[in-house]
Structure 1
Amino acid sequence: MKKTLSLLILFTTLTGLLLIQPSQSSHAQGPIVASPTPYPGEFDFITFEMLGKSDKVMVGPYSSTFIRFGTPDSWYLESGAKIILDLETIVNSSRSLAEDATEYSGAMLEISMDGNVVDVIFLETGSQTIEIDVPKETLHSTRSDGRHSLQLYLDAAIDCLFDHETAVLIRSSSGISLPHHSISHQLDITRLPRPIYQRSSLLPEDALILLPDSPTETELQSAMIVAATFGRMTEGEQKISLTSISALTEEQKTNAHIIMIGKASSLPILNMVIFPTSTTGENATQEVASEEGVVQMALSPWNASRVVLYIGGAEDNAVIKAAQAFSSGALRAGKHSSLSVISNVADAIEIKDVPDDRTLASLGYETKTLSGVGYNSLDYEFLIPLGKTPSGEISFKLLYAHSAIFDFEASGAIISLNGENLGSIKFSDETANQVTELNINIPAYALKPGRNTLSIRAELLPLDYCSVLNNDGLWMSISEDSLLHIPLIDAGNTPTLSGDLSMFPAPFINSPSLSELSFIFPKDNILSWELGANLAENLGQYAVGKTLHLSAYYADNLPDETRENKDLIIIGQASQLPILDELAESMPAYFEKGSNIAIETNANITFSIPENTDLGYLELFPAPWDSSRSILTILGSTPLGLQWSQETLLNPDVKPDMHGDYVVVHAEKMYAVDTEAGLGAQNLSATAVPGEYPTLIPDTVPTTSYAYQQDWVITAIKIVSGMIILLLLGLIIKTTRKDRKNKK
């Protein structure tokens, strides 16, 4: 009996320790951050929150803030625009105001749109909602990016005259009403990616790639090239969906810009589109040979505020020509701005060389001045031609001047390129009232192919906030003679090897044109094709070649030349990918024929997991036929598991924890190990679905392994301990009854 009680105390103590022990949670994927809620087209009112702005506090005596936004090309702004401000003004004053003036704070708010003052309002203490009419003629952007700029300027001069403090809260529920009606887009292929993508638009519009129901490998390849092109044209901001003709929904027809890719004979839906310039039939206005590619734009027959972009031709080789020419982002228009006919890719594009030295004036910018109290900024855009890469020393010679009457210690300016800080300015008496030269070295990684944005952000703070000279006396000018020095050479390959998933997209971006990359897909699997397009869009941001040349094949038809000369990305469910059979011995975890559940050869214990279990798999390993070539598999036991794999691979929040060559994903949990380093002794597939298929963790598994630190281990021990306690209690009761009988 005593021995039994001792055992009970021991297990009770163990259970108590486990219950109070903090659990070690598995690594969860970071939450997918949604874009700001898009403006719903049936309403005219756009809140500041929809523009990504939070509540803003402005503090007197003087303060200013800017809100910038773009409108879709399909919007024609009408009269009746309004700015609605939801404000709260707080005043702290020792001065007694007249009884009839207690509601007036003594401060004013100046509202400007695109540099034009539209109203000045007197602020009352407490909360108030103010509605300001915006004349139509003031809604005219003067910025190079086409965005509108709303400025709010607080003038609380009363804070300078008396013992008085003013603060104004601009709530994010404030906004602007923009009455409009939809108009047809300008059909000009030389302006692509507009109108499909418009930077900083209030209302991002969907884009959809439409393929034939049974696309050829060339048509599928063309779709991947087009997706990658949108990635580099829009810096990954325009998300692309993909579907086939039979899967196209009425909602997609109505809401999306549709990019039709393939042979004209494979896309019967093309007959519903009325192109301004016909290339087929008796009414053809421009003859196109069967081997020539076509890039053509028309208004959508399902929604006049959307467009249809056709990239194709009569034959497969014509389709690929059209896609590669489109990838240049520099198409030549034909007789009509909506059409480009491609006989030869090199002749169909127009990429202009640029000099090594470019002044701001040569980029189209005059000398500009920042003035007034507080923060302000200037942006300068310039291009790095596709196919070129920086070489040698890169620099920016900034010529600037500034006034001498602001607080040099508290003020300053920062120079950045594409969000990367390059340098800063410390103002002084020595630099005041003269042109000063500042030379800034630019690291090559700060530049990118296509459009680049150089920003100068300044904060000018006065010596005396109450000086009447603050508005005009605080200034900084940027000379148009400031000079960018960027020597360029033709882009070449940059070979890298990586066996670590956390290093993705390496090694799949070694070639500037992605020519060393092939996607491998199952047949008749739209989800795999769409995930491939999403991945191509991501990789396109790193491609600097003049045109893109990535390829795509079906898993049952991989040419020997591709095996030997390409890195492969294989996407789908294992049972639909026969190529995995010959890769089995090289994979961190292989798949039996017809199965979608991985078999982990390094695991000490193997569990049987039902085929319908949702799991995602990522594996990175050298090709068995050439160790200098890499293969990435993005797999799923189910379609949902396949989507989890893709989301995890592209999720920057989890990238630091993806060290290794093998990852298993289940819902929001990710398990990563490096099988080459011997950190794969546990069965990750079973670990990913705790409770049903518990995994025994051997003593040899390092505690640093991500899969080791899981809540299910604690849970399993608690369950087992509880069962033992119940058995012991039953034993105690039985023993006690037996003792009583013996006493009787």
Structure 2
Amino acid sequence: MVSGWTSSSRFARVTSGLLGALVIAVALLLGTATTALAQGEPTKPPSEVSFKDLGMVDSTLRGRLATYLVYFAGNGVYELGDGNEIRLIFSHSELLSPRSSALSVVWNGVPLKNMSLDKSNVDRTRLVIPIPRDKVDPDVNELRLIFYMQLSEDECFELDNPSRASTVYSESSVFLNILPNVGQIPQIQYELGSGTTPGTRSIFPRTGNVRIVLPAEPTRAELTAAATIAARTGRDAGIKPIVIRASRAGELDNVGRQDHLIVIGNAARNPLIAELDARLPLKTSGATFLRPDGASVPSDHGVLQAAGSPWRPDRGVLLVGGSTDEAVLRASRALASETYRKLMLGTFAIVDQAVPVLPTAAPESSERQISFADLGNEDATVRGLGEQSFSLNFELPAIVDKQPYNLNLYLTTSPLLDFNRSNVRVVLNKVTIHSIRAADGVRRHFLINLPAANLRPGVNTLEFLAAHHVPRDPDCGPIADERAWTVIHRDSSITFAQADTQGRNSLLNLPYPFLRNGALEETLLVVASDATEWGPALTFAADLGRRTRVDMARLEAALPNQVTDNDWQSRHLILYGTPPPHPMITGLGSRLPLQFNDRGDRLLQNREGVLFAGVDTSRLGVIEIISNPRAADRVILVVSATTSEMLPLVNTAVRQGGLAGNVATVSQNVATGLPARPGEDPTRPRVAAADLEVEGGQPSAATAGRTSRLLSPAIIATGLVGLITLGLLGMLGLQLRGR
């Protein structure tokens, strides 16, 4: 199924690749920014943070216009002095024209420095740019470096000349003069809307420091509300870093109260709501919410409220509740719906009817052809000189051999292009499969074969790279970008073979099949009973939400004892957490490529002739995907670890992608005892992936009596027939994409 398209310049794609590592690094930084000391005082953030600290490497940007984007944590609750500065180290091609090449440094949308790229800064140059104290956000700050690069000769042509280049070095840093004392925090008023009312801010947090507070024993509806809100928060965050934490209401300490709080339920089930009653616009009486006139809100009506936090003036509280489970679900779905949320104003909303699921995409398996218009898309126009791009994703449940896969492409190119130099390349999963020469403004049709060898089950990406060049101007006048365009028409379509249910069991296809047609409707997230693991699980839900393309980013969630037989039959399951708090993971037994021992603190393989050797398995994450033993057309994803502290690193591995096979292990370089390679960040995760055989049979209820063999890390991988090694002495060197 086609799930929509996005449009960007080539250098936006470069930037997004750089952000693959950046988003994770900043998220980890934000995750530590409010970690408590023993006495409850927030930890003082580091004053200087380099690009390298955030996982960045030296990066070369190319083209006429290129942007480098990076995020930094702010000063938090601590006072900020003067002397804040950006310490940028860069260089550029000596062929750039100093008259027309420039660098702009933009901090939180405010230009701080504009300078020429000239002979004085060709070689490695250190530039210090002061940051005004009032321009530093206490939470997250955006640094944007914009390079405009023109060549010294023939500068109005050769837009793709590789000499258009500048390099940003990872030793670059940002210094904030963070003082040792906690400062006076300004009081902020919050509302449900966009925060456009003077003196107010939207309650919807889109960065870190978000904590969801659930009742002590949450119902399935309350967990689903939390997962749905997490997915929506991830959708709102986009590429921005986000870490979601979670707590039981009765276990929320003073440090947890310093976060933005999203409180689920009602006062009868969640005692934190009673503590907030004086701040909330709608008061409570047990499980009942009261309107401003004192009348009771009907039991099936959802309630949304926004208020300032009583524990930290700059934080907000968002209540998502109702008297019943149905009311809580209504509130969360209204919050997750982009359409409904645009209608919200003020500090509270009462959801008096069920929020319908808006149509999002055509059915997948029975349709052999899907047009771009079927998904609500109009004709798409890409503009600009040089190489521009747009892309679309489509899903295939399986690849059927000897069946045709075709693209019916309808396009029109500008009649003002230089036809000898302008073209459109069609790229399938990063492999060029066709090239089209620009023509004289005429709508044309092309039937393009999509090679089965380049297709994969799950999400596939078609990218259209339009190289726009205009005829040479003998006077080298201004470049008229408006003359360069290509239109992809809405009646273009993809024709594919009849779907079947094979080919799902590969980590390469993630997030498919859990994310299908831009939605999570057929997925159930099953979290462990240990509340300390709810935060990483909801952060995982937020990462899934980033990829949604529907109006409502809804995600069902449950505890293991709330999973029904119907769930096994009808849903793709994500089992998240560590055993033994998660009995469904241990219950799968030999169905898993790698199993846990009875204590859940070691990984093992129980097949004769199979050796799991390498580093200490007491600190490993594992990602496994298998067929659902109770439903042939459904799959199970296990996201687990031998210790809960490893779960955020497992999230990192899944988020960055590049996994393969049916199992992958995740470790930190510093924990493996293996020497880091030259230029390798020892704190980044290592991933080893493989395809391992699994045994049949129904999942067992417990692991007692299993004949699995725990293999010591000291075992050396030699002399065994049919040896299979996960490669933690070798394959662990395979780094995550985005390094």
**TM-score between both structures, scaled by the size of structure 1:** 0.57
Where do residues 98-177 of structure 1 align in structure 2 (5 Å cutoff)?
Answer: 107=99, 109=101, 124=120, 150=146, 152-154=148-150, 156=152, 171-172=168-169
1:223 corresponds to which letter in structure 2? A
Distance 1:305 1:346, change over 3 A: same
Distance 1:226 1:656, change over 3 A: same
Separation (CA, whole Å) in 1 of partners of 2:544 and 2:470: 43
Q: Structure 1 residue 222: deviation in Å?
A: 2.2
Determine if the alignment matches structure 1 residue 402 to structure 2 residue 398.
no
Instruction: Specify the alignment match of 2:322 in structure 1.
Output: 313
Instruction: Specify the alignment match of 2:67 in structure 1.
Output: 67
Distance 1:208 1:424, change over 3 A: farther
Q: Structure 1 residue 690: deviation in Å?
A: 1.9
Cα contact 2:281–2:292 (8 A) shared by 1 = yes
Where do residues 4-403 of structure 1 align in structure 2 (5 Å cutoff)?
Answer: 33-35=21-23, 64-67=64-67, 107=99, 109=101, 124=120, 150=146, 152-154=148-150, 156=152, 171-172=168-169, 187-189=191-193, 196=204, 204-232=207-235, 238-246=242-250, 248=252, 253-254=257-258, 256-270=259-273, 271-272=275-276, 277-278=281-282, 280=284, 284=292, 288-301=297-310, 306-332=315-341, 336-346=345-355, 370=384, 375=386, 377=388, 395=409, 397-402=411-416
Separation (CA, whole Å) in 1 of partners of 2:730 and 2:413: 59
Q: Structure 1 residue 278: deviation in Å?
A: 3.1
2:292 corresponds to which letter in structure 1? A
Q: Structure 1 residue 552: deviation in Å?
A: 3.6
Distance 1:197 1:463, change over 3 A: farther
Q: Structure 1 residue 640: deviation in Å?
A: 4.3
SS in 2 for 1:575: coil
SS in 2 for 1:673: coil
Structure 1 vs Structure 2 CA RMSD:
6.7
Cα contact 1:508–1:517 (8 A) shared by 2 = yes
Instruction: Specify the alignment match of 2:560 in structure 1.
Output: 555
What are the Cα deviations for residues 421-455 of structure 1, in whole angstroms up to 9, with x where unaligned? 8976645xxx5xx6354557899x99x99xx9998
Q: Structure 1 residue 219: deviation in Å?
A: 1.5
Separation (CA, whole Å) in 2 of partners of 1:168 and 1:646: 34
Unaligned residue ranges in structure 2 (runs of 5+): 1-19, 34-44, 76-82, 133-141, 157-162, 178-184, 363-369, 396-404, 673-685, 697-706, 732-739
Partner of residue 675 from structure 1, selected from 683, 686, 694? 694
Separation (CA, whole Å) in 1 of partners of 2:314 and 2:560: 39
Q: Structure 1 residue 528: deviation in Å?
A: 3.2
Partner of residue 484 from structure 1, selected from 482, 490, 494? 490
Instruction: Specify the alignment match of 1:5 in structure 2.
Output: none
Q: Structure 1 residue 338: deviation in Å?
A: 4.9
Q: Which structure has the greater CA radius of gyration?
A: 1
Cα contact 1:263–1:312 (8 A) shared by 2 = yes
Separation (CA, whole Å) in 2 of partners of 1:207 and 1:69: 23
Q: Structure 1 residue 511: deviation in Å?
A: 9.1
Cα contact 2:409–2:488 (8 A) shared by 1 = no
1:35 corresponds to which letter in structure 2? V
Separation (CA, whole Å) in 2 of partners of 1:424 and 1:185: 55
Instruction: Specify the alignment match of 1:16 in structure 2.
Output: none
1:311 corresponds to which letter in structure 2? V
Instruction: Specify the alignment match of 1:702 in structure 2.
Output: 722
Q: Which moved more, 1:288-297 or 1:333-342?
A: 333-342
Where do residues 638-649 of structure 1 align in structure 2 (5 Å cutoff)?
Answer: 638-640=643-645
Distance 1:345 1:453, change over 3 A: farther
Instruction: Specify the alignment match of 1:652 in structure 2.
Output: 657
1:227 corresponds to which letter in structure 2? A
Cα contact 2:203–2:318 (8 A) shared by 1 = no
Instruction: Specify the alignment match of 1:690 in structure 2.
Output: 713
SS in 2 for 1:533: helix
Instruction: Specify the alignment match of 2:400 in structure 1.
Output: none
Q: Structure 1 residue 526: deviation in Å?
A: 1.9
Cα contact 1:230–1:540 (8 A) shared by 2 = yes
Q: Structure 1 residue 531: deviation in Å?
A: 3.7
Q: Structure 1 residue 497: deviation in Å?
A: 6.7
Q: Structure 1 residue 188: deviation in Å?
A: 4.5
Distance 1:296 1:527, change over 3 A: same
Cα contact 1:218–1:320 (8 A) shared by 2 = yes
Instruction: Specify the alignment match of 1:468 in structure 2.
Output: 475
Cα contact 1:294–1:341 (8 A) shared by 2 = yes
Distance 1:548 1:413, change over 3 A: closer
Cα contact 1:292–1:341 (8 A) shared by 2 = yes
1:67 corresponds to which letter in structure 2? T
What are the Cα deviations for residues 396-420 of structure 1, in whole angstroms up to 9, with x where unaligned? 533424356x9x44x6566889999
What are the Cα deviations for residues 283-309 of structure 1, in whole angstroms up to 9, with x where unaligned? 726963222112344444555655433
SS in 2 for 1:318: helix
Q: Structure 1 residue 249: deviation in Å?
A: 5.7
Q: Structure 1 residue 340: deviation in Å?
A: 3.8
SS in 2 for 1:317: helix
1:278 corresponds to which letter in structure 2? L
Cα contact 1:416–1:455 (8 A) shared by 2 = yes
Cα contact 1:275–1:297 (8 A) shared by 2 = no
2:475 corresponds to which letter in structure 1? V
What are the Cα deviations for residues 166-209 of structure 1, in whole angstroms up to 9, with x where unaligned? 99966558899999x999688454799987566xxxxx544333
Cα contact 2:384–2:482 (8 A) shared by 1 = yes
1:326 corresponds to which letter in structure 2? L
Instruction: Specify the alignment match of 2:533 in structure 1.
Output: 528
Q: Structure 1 residue 259: deviation in Å?
A: 2.7
Separation (CA, whole Å) in 2 of partners of 1:615 and 1:90: 44
Distance 1:604 1:321, change over 3 A: same
Cα contact 1:274–1:299 (8 A) shared by 2 = no
Separation (CA, whole Å) in 2 of partners of 1:613 and 1:36: 24
Q: Structure 1 residue 585: deviation in Å?
A: 7.0
Separation (CA, whole Å) in 2 of partners of 1:226 and 1:312: 12
2:297 corresponds to which letter in structure 1? V
Structure number having the greater helix percentage:
1
Separation (CA, whole Å) in 2 of partners of 1:252 and 1:417: 46
SS in 2 for 1:242: strand
Distance 1:469 1:311, change over 3 A: same
Distance 1:131 1:623, change over 3 A: closer
1:65 corresponds to which letter in structure 2? L
**TM-score between both structures, scaled by the size of structure 2:** 0.58
Separation (CA, whole Å) in 1 of partners of 2:620 and 2:434: 47
Separation (CA, whole Å) in 1 of partners of 2:428 and 2:611: 52
Cα contact 2:505–2:662 (8 A) shared by 1 = no
1:397 corresponds to which letter in structure 2? L
